């Protein structure tokens, strides 16, 4: 009988009552885990939320609880340069047709790389405490810095 794999925030731990499933550290060596259910040839052309992910695909597991700080995005300043999208190590910048749309907070780990590479003045992404409301963060956005002569 084939075994399913758990993809929850408790991955790696066998859950009580889920004996037909195994954790990531219990998978038999050499086993193939399909990322998608059914046909997957066109997956690259679909938006992430339209793909039919398997339950054990890491996309289905949120890491939001890992963060203590989060990036907040300010659309008013962004120039859609895509730097943040290129550099985010967790593919957590949402961009469509080369337009920055925001942050995938289910998968963002709060590393701050996107803020570091944002070139605008002031930056279009800034780190705030995880509990900060977006409106309050946007209201406290810094002014443009003047060049020192
Ligand atoms: S904080 Fe890190 S993980 Fe989150 S969107 Fe920015 S670069 Fe990606
Ligand atoms: S790096 Fe900054 S300016 Fe460029 S797309 Fe991202 S948020 Fe916008």
CATH number of the domain that residue 134 is part of = 3.30.70.20
Sheet strands (E) in 23-110: 69-73, 93-96, 99-103
CA 71 to ligand 1 center in whole angstroms: 7
Please report whether residue 42 resides in a domain: yes
With 0-12 CB in 10 A as exposed, 13-18 as middle and 19+ as buried, what is 115? middle
14, 30, 61 - which closes a domain: 61
Confidence at residue 22, expressed as pLDDT on a 0 to 100 scale: 67
Report pLDDT for 17: 47
Average pLDDT over residues 46-59: 82
Q: What is the structure's pLDDT at 13?
A: 40
pLDDT(37) > 80? yes
For residue 130, pLDDT over 60 is answered with: yes
User: How many Å lie between the centroid of ligand 2 and the Cα of residue 15?
Assistant: 41
149, part of any domain: no
Q: Report whether 77 contacts 120 (CB < 8 A).
A: yes
17 in any annotated domain = yes
Q: Please tell me whether residues 14 and 43 are part of one structural domain.
A: yes
Q: Is residue 26 very low, low, confident or very high in pLDDT (cuts 50, 70, 90)?
A: confident
The residue-averaged pLDDT of 128-132 equals: 96
Instruction: From the CA of 125, give the closest atom in ligand 1.
Output: 6
Q: Tell me the average pLDDT across 13-21.
A: 48
Name the residue range of residue 126's domain: 64-139
pLDDT of 7 reads: 41
CA distance 15 to 8: 10
What residues line ligand 1, using a CB cutoff of 6 Å?
Answer: 71, 88, 90, 92-93, 103, 108-114
Does 123 lie in the same domain as 85? yes
- Asked if the structure places residue 83 within a domain, the reply is yes
Query: Average model confidence (pLDDT) for the chain?
Result: 84
Residues 120 and 79 reside in one and the same domain: yes
Please indicate, yes or no, whether residues 109 and 129 belong to a single structural domain of this protein. yes
Does a structural domain hold residue 145? Answer: no
Check pLDDT > 90 for residue 114. yes
Q: 84 and 54 in one domain? A: no
pLDDT at residue 20, rounded to an integer: 60
| Residue 47 falls inside a structural domain | yes
Which of 11 and 105 is assigned the larger pLDDT?
105
pLDDT of residue 67: 93
Same-domain pairing of 125 and 75: yes
- Whether 3 and 56 map to the same domain: the answer is yes
Name the domain count of the chain.
2
> For residue 12, what pLDDT band results from cuts at 50, 70 and 90?
very low
């Amino acid at each position: 009988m084939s075994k399913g794999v758990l993809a929850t925030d408790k991955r790696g731990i066998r859950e009580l009552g889920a004996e037909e499933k195994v954790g990531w550290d219990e998978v038999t060596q050499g086993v193939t885990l399909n990322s998608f259910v059914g046909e997957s040839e066109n997956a690259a052309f679909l938006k992430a939320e339209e793909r039919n992910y398997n339950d054990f695909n890491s996309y289905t597991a949120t890491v939001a609880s890992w963060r203590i700080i989060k990036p907040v995005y300010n659309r008013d300043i962004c120039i859609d340069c895509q730097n943040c999208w290129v550099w985010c190590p967790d593919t957590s910048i949402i961009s469509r047709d080369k337009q920055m749309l925001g942050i995938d907070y289910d998968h963002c780990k709060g590393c701050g790389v996107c803020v570091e590479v944002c070139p605008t003045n002031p930056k279009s992404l800034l780190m705030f405490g995880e509990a900060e409301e977006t409106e309050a963060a946007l209201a406290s956005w810094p002014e443009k810095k003047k060049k020192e002569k």
